[in-house]
Amino acid sequence: MHYKQVLKVWDLLPLEDIPRLAKRLEGIFERYTDDFISHCNEKCLEGDLEVPKTWKTSFDIARYKSCSSNEIGSNSNPGGPDGSYYVENSKVSDSLLLMKFYSLSSSVVSHLLSDRDGRELELPFEVTDEELEIILFQRSTFILGRSGTGKTTVLTMKLFKKEHLFHMVTEGLDDVIDNTSKDISRRNSIADDIKSVGDGVGDAKKTVLRQLFVTVSPKLCYAVKHHVTHLKSFASGGKYSAEGSSVDIEDIDDAAQFKDIPNSLFDIPPKSYPLVITFFKFLMMLDGTMGNSYFERFSDMRQLLQEKVGNSGSISAQTLIRTKEVNFEKFCAVYWPRFNEKIKNKLDSSRVFTEIISHIKGSLQAGKSRDGSLSREDYVNLSEGRISTLNRQKRDVIYDIFEGYEKMKAANGDFDMADFVNDLHLRLKTYKYEGEAMDFVYIDEVQDLTMRQIALFKHICRNVEEGFVFSGDTAQTIARGIDFRFEDIRSLFYNEFVLASRGTGNDRSEKGQISKIFHLNQNFRTHAGVLNLAQSVIDLLYRFFPSFIDLLSHETSLIYGEAPILLESGNDENAIVTIFGNSGNLRSSFVGFGAEQSARALEFQDVLLYNFFGSSPLKNKWRVVYEFMKEQDLLDVNSPSFPSFTPARHNVLCSELKQLYVAITRTRQRLWICENVEEFSRPMFDYWMKKGLVQVRKLDDSLAQAMQVSSSPEEWKSRVSPSSYKCNLAFALPFVGATQLLREGNYEMATMCFERAGDERGEKLSKAAGLKAAADRMHSSNPEMASVARRQAAEIFESIGKAEYAAECFYMLKEYDRAAEVYAKGCHFSKCLSACTKGKLFDMGLHYIQYWKQHGTADQRCREMDTIEQEFLESCACHYYELNDRRAMMRYVRAFDSMSSVRTFLINLGCLDELLSLEVESGNFLEAAGIAKLKGELVLQADLLGKGGHFKEASLLILWFVFANSLWSNGSKGWPLKPFLQKEELLTKAKLLAKDVSDQFYEFVHTEAEILLNSQHNLFEIHQILDSSRRHSSIRGEMLSARKILDMHLHLNTSKYLWENDLVSDFARLSERNFLNNQVSAETLVYFWNFWKDMIVNIFKFLARLEMQGVTEYREFGEFCLNYMGVKREFNNLNAIYFLMNPDAQWARDIPRKFIRREGSDKQQPRKSGRPTKPNPKYHEEQ
């Protein structure tokens, strides 16, 4: 064990205030042990310099004396009702023992000096030895502690420590490694934790430690995120700006704090780490990582999910998701009333919902079934378990309710969180998780999660040995539907995390390696008076529900405090009016802690707990407390009668006691408890009074005045930091002002605070936010009232310039035109177009696009906006395409951001005529020629090639077309060449185009045209054409000329042949001489027959090599062959595709249809929304 002397600075004070502080410190030091004081007083000199002394001991040096009276000096603080003594007697807010101390180092000084704007800086503070042990613990950790014992502090400091060490390692300070984790995924150094990720700029890389902090409460998440952000700034030496990650102070949606984080675990920006998110955000990110979203099964969700609004998706989509979710409140309002009254009289809705969510659908055993829920038999058999409080008959009834609930839920298009989680498990089982792997995962308030929800984390972090920290307290399980003990989490971790990581399910030899559960017992929030009262509630839980709460030693506090006060209001007078007066400032909606929205994770300076028992569903069943009092010998002879405790009848008592515990532990200083219905509260009041835990005071004007403290308008409004809080104590407000109340969802109180501060805008914002929240809650149970509240909220939001929230309300009301208009006014470009798309307000959207293009600044446009604009226009065009209104479709196509996107879109839809017209209109003749080619219109293609300056290609294409048509049109059978309409015109055009190429090319085309015209020529002229074809290496010209010469031989009567008397040695010269006189002979017939035969043989040689790639021999004969058949050959990734110009050609009629694909057979249908898929070309036929 290591100890070191430190110099502790308690305060900076004027000289005259020092004696008072010194006296208070003397009282504290009296409680220190002599051993501790002597170690503090020892001196260590290095020459003349006194330096801190260090000890290494094998035993702990006790700091405080024991509570025995003989060790307590005369100046000690008074004891409590239980005889305990306390180190300090002061207000919690003024406590010296609860002050935070910071280790003063060069890095701390540097960080303090870096703030030149006077902003508050958060630094890592010194923790207790108990906390430090957990922070330094290297393996996966389980932390159990009651309210206010520093669980969240330990988690954040543990996270910060790793972040700080990681930063030091990446900066090259390798000497810090010795204090780091021993192994991450069986590696030996924290340097191995470094993972390179692209920073989006070239090939540059940077490192990031992937740490994830998850909690259910958005309020706690915001506080932790704020704290971690500032600690990260300190850890990075100021290189990371805490300001850059701040959230708009007026953001009222939980989703707003995650607007820079994608709904996916892919490509998370490095600056987002450590990732501090709510559990719901985690589920959405996991959902976005595992293929198609769970919510795409809901028809009204699909469009919203495809909206690209920021990184985190549409806020409207998340709002709609929340309205579809069946939580406990919705279960009670919408589903529970529809069940038989006889059933409901025997069961409590809270218990039924808990059984469905935590056991039937949320247990690990449920996950093993095919549909993610227990069978009736398996669920009913749970009654045999040792901790079951439900018999078989009641479980059977609950299962009937479950089946009815599932049917109603499906009919309503709703879901509950268990459905969402089970779907994620199914996808994770079917497909491998490929998102970013986390190095460390911290789960706070883990008691708010079911077993199946916790089990999801095993997929995102493989560092099972030391990568997980679970923190919570089952005494604070106030989330409806959650039911387990903390020990169950440890068992879950071993079975689902550890064994799964080792690839086995039954090897229990290493179970001892799972760490123990760390307990935190010292309370830092409040004083002993409040803790004693809270412990009395815990004692009742231990007695009646030992299986639903973990056993812990009592919380301790070093600070003495007065016992809470029970207020007696005489003559049934309304206590609220007495305390606050009849000013109307609180209106009629004062929120107590008995509500579902209990303020756990919030601290209040002073709390008035009003009518908790009067509003409890237990009513007079609270009398069961007398049974415990009797066991503790606390009952008088004349005590009232009471029922015996039965788990089935009193099961609601468990959740009510936990609610009561949370309510009591919200206060830091003073707690008042007031009830209007004495019958229901009397058992607990008697219990507390018998134990001496409360004071009883009659509520009158003098007491009410003592309870109240005035505050300035600025104090009502401002956000006050935890280190310098002001209390609005008479109103049970937390230690933050109206702005923070607004963020924390306490809209009624925020409205009141803004009103008292004279801030009209803040008052309206809070009121509108409250109306919006109420509308979300009533969305299913009372749609009409929800619409009224949402419309009121929208009007107020719009009046104060909160365009985004106003438009969202209009969107949820399906008033898409108003939503689009308000989004446009607020310059929310993408959301405006989303509203236009949803409402099919295409003209309105197009108008906004054109306006923004003309008047928008460069700063208002970005690549993402261009993408959203394009998707909107494509959606509009697809809509009109499906209506077969091509003219309307083209209005939106013309507004596309580029011709490239126009081409992709129209080709995919097969709208080639429209694309061709647009290309010609734009002067893109070569691209238009390509479209004509896709359409199979070769003449048009040639014409467009000519307009585009590609004269040679155009001329050759015409010759190709004329040749094929001369052979196969109008029933021709491949010979002779026949005339067809426009033949001469086309050949004339080919020659004109050739003139713009070269004289030599013109001569070639002229020769080809003469052959194709098939004019009447004598033998001499045909021979000259043959010679010209030879000079131009035209196989077509040679073949056709030779065939014509042969035909003239064969059609002439042999009696007219010229017979040669001499032996001929030069047949070529003989042919020239005879043809000059227009004469033929047997010798010329033989000569040209052999010439023709050799060319035909070459064609067959080509055909023999047709399937061989890369063969160039006889290629010109192959091209002639294809041209002759009217077939063009194209290559697609080295694969030859043959396109037939005339499918009715005689030779093609006998080809089996399976070898031919007709035009349009591969034409793709447009998608309902989004960008069309990549197209395939469309031609006439393919063989």
Q: Is 635 helix (H, G, I), strand (E, B) or coil?
A: coil
Task: Please report which confidence band the pLDDT of residue 230 belongs to, taking 50, 70 and 90 as the band edges.
Answer: confident
Write down the pLDDT at residue 881: 93
Write down the pLDDT at residue 14: 92
- Please determine, for residue 633, whether its predicted confidence score (pLDDT) is greater than 60: yes
Torsional sign, CA 192, 194, 195, 198: negative
* Topology at the third CATH level for domain 528-708: Rossmann fold (3.40.50)
Write down the pLDDT at residue 217: 84
Instruction: Give the bridge partners for 696, in sequence order.
Output: 566
- What is d(CA 1052, CA 1054) in angstroms, rounded to the nearest whole number? 6
- Please determine, for residue 407, whether its predicted confidence score (pLDDT) is greater than 90: yes
By C-alpha distance, which of 835, 825, 773, 770 is closest to 799? Answer: 825
Write down the pLDDT at residue 308: 46
Residue 410: CB partners within 8 Å, gap ≥ 6?
none
**73 or 22: whose pLDDT is higher?**
22
Return the structure tokens found at 1146. Answer: 């005689």
Mean pLDDT of 558-570: 84
By C-alpha distance, which of 1114, 1071, 1076 is closest to 1096? Answer: 1114
Tens of pLDDT, residue by residue over 724-772, are 222 333 333 333 466 767 776 778 878 887 887 788 988 999 999 999 9
- Please determine, for residue 124, whether its predicted confidence score (pLDDT) is greater than 50: yes
- Please determine, for residue 223, whether its predicted confidence score (pLDDT) is greater than 90: no
- What is d(CA 209, CA 221) in angstroms, rounded to the nearest whole number? 20
Residue 1012: CB partners within 8 Å, gap ≥ 6?
959, 962, 963, 966, 977, 983, 987, 1040
- What is d(CA 481, CA 350) in angstroms, rounded to the nearest whole number? 7
* Residue 414 · residue 326 · CB < 8 Å: yes
Residue 1155: CB partners within 8 Å, gap ≥ 6?
1183
Q: Kindly report the length of the chain.
A: 1183
Tens of pLDDT, residue by residue over 237-265, are 666 665 544 455 566 566 667 777 888 89
- Please determine, for residue 414, whether its predicted confidence score (pLDDT) is greater than 60: yes
Task: Please report which confidence band the pLDDT of residue 73 belongs to, taking 50, 70 and 90 as the band edges.
Answer: very low
- Please determine, for residue 111, whether its predicted confidence score (pLDDT) is greater than 60: yes
Torsional sign, CA 695, 701, 706, 707: positive
Write down the pLDDT at residue 589: 34
Task: Please report which confidence band the pLDDT of residue 854 belongs to, taking 50, 70 and 90 as the band edges.
Answer: confident
- Please determine, for residue 594, whether its predicted confidence score (pLDDT) is greater than 60: no
- Please determine, for residue 1161, whether its predicted confidence score (pLDDT) is greater than 60: no
Tens of pLDDT, residue by residue over 295-327, are 888 876 666 665 544 433 455 667 778 788 898
What type of residue sits at position 225? K
Class of domain 120-325+419-520 as given by CATH = alpha beta
- Please determine, for residue 862, whether its predicted confidence score (pLDDT) is greater than 70: no
| Helix (H) / strand (E) containing 646 | none
- What is d(CA 650, CA 647) in angstroms, rounded to the nearest whole number? 5
Burial of 238 (0-12, 13-18, 19+ CB in 10 A): middle
Q: Is 462 helix (H, G, I), strand (E, B) or coil?
A: coil
**837 or 71: whose pLDDT is higher?**
837
Return the structure tokens found at 570. Answer: 């005489």
Tens of pLDDT, residue by residue over 338-376, are 998 887 777 888 889 988 998 999 888 888 888 889 999
- What is d(CA 828, CA 797) in angstroms, rounded to the nearest whole number? 15
Write down the pLDDT at residue 859: 56
- What is d(CA 321, CA 292) in angstroms, rounded to the nearest whole number? 16
What type of residue sits at position 424? L
Cα atoms in the Cβ-side hemisphere of radius 13 Å centred on 761: 7
Return the structure tokens found at 426. Answer: 């199914």
611: left (phi over 0), alpha (psi -120 to 50) or beta: left
- What is d(CA 921, CA 915) in angstroms, rounded to the nearest whole number? 10
The pairing of strands 54-56 and 44-46 is unpaired
What DSSP line would sit under 643-698, residue for residue?
PPP-TTTTTHHHHHHHHHHHHHTTEEEEEEEE-S-HHHHHHHHHHHHHTT--EEEE
CB atoms inside a 10 Å sphere around CB 96 = 17
**880 or 1065: whose pLDDT is higher?**
880
Mean pLDDT of 177-199: 38
The pairing of strands 49-51 and 44-46 is antiparallel
Rounded to the nearest integer, the mean pLDDT of the chain is 79
C-alpha 922: how far from chain center: 42
Tens of pLDDT, residue by residue over 453-472, are 999 999 999 899 889 999 98
Write down the pLDDT at residue 456: 94
Burial of 17 (0-12, 13-18, 19+ CB in 10 A): exposed
